[in-house]
Amino acid sequence: MVAKATAKDLAPIEFDSWIKPAHTESSTSTEQGKTTTIIQHGVTEQISEGGETWFRRNLGNAIVEKRGESITTRYVYTDHLGSVDVITDDAGQVEEKLSFDAFGKRRAVFKSNNQAVNFTLASILSLTHKGYTGHE
């Protein structure tokens, strides 16, 4: 027990809108030379690879990425369960398309002419970690 608290004993505490202490969690992972730090409960990612560092923010259905002076915005569209269905650029062009079976397993996406669309898991994960029912 601390008898007398001094400035060095104190840590800054942020409070949420319900006047409860808000915790800012962060986690860092490194995979194949790429380091990703996720902060603010998954809202912000700091990514470092090959001497370059950039930021990605998940704001509602928008993914905003800032690399140097360049800012890229993508939009995530979900189905009725909240699963990621389509990711588009700011002009509305489809960049990625996902599909899941009833149990959350990824399945092939087909065009109207029954031709499979070839999107890889790596390309999707480079944009968002969310998938079936919006979970990571």
Q: Tell me if 2 is assigned to some domain.
A: no
Q: Tell me if 12 is assigned to some domain.
A: no
- What integer is the mean pLDDT of 42-58? 84
Q: Tell me if 56 is assigned to some domain.
A: yes
**pLDDT: which is higher, 20 or 29:** 29
Q: Tell me if 14 is assigned to some domain.
A: no
Q: Tell me if 10 is assigned to some domain.
A: no
- What integer is the mean pLDDT of 76-82? 84
Q: Tell me if 78 is assigned to some domain.
A: yes
- Sorting pLDDT into bands at 50, 70 and 90, what band is 117? low
Domain coverage including residue 42: 21-134
The enclosing H or E element of 124 equals helix 121-125
Q: Other C-beta atoms within 10 Å of 87: how many?
A: 22
> What 3-state class would DSSP assign to 16?
coil
- Are 62 and 75 in contact by the 8 Å Cβ rule? The answer is yes
Distance of CA 108 to the CA centre of its chain: 22
pLDDT digit string, tens, across residues 87-98: 899 999 988 888
Q: Tell me if 33 is assigned to some domain.
A: yes
What's the residue count for the chain?
136
pLDDT of residue 22: 55
- Are 65 and 95 in contact by the 8 Å Cβ rule? The answer is no
Number of domains in the chain: 1
Helices (H) and strands (E) in the chain, counts: 1, 12
Q: Tell me if 55 is assigned to some domain.
A: yes
pLDDT, mean over the chain: 71
The CA-atom distances, in angstroms, between 107 and each of 85, 90, 94, 114, 131 are: 12, 26, 18, 14, 12
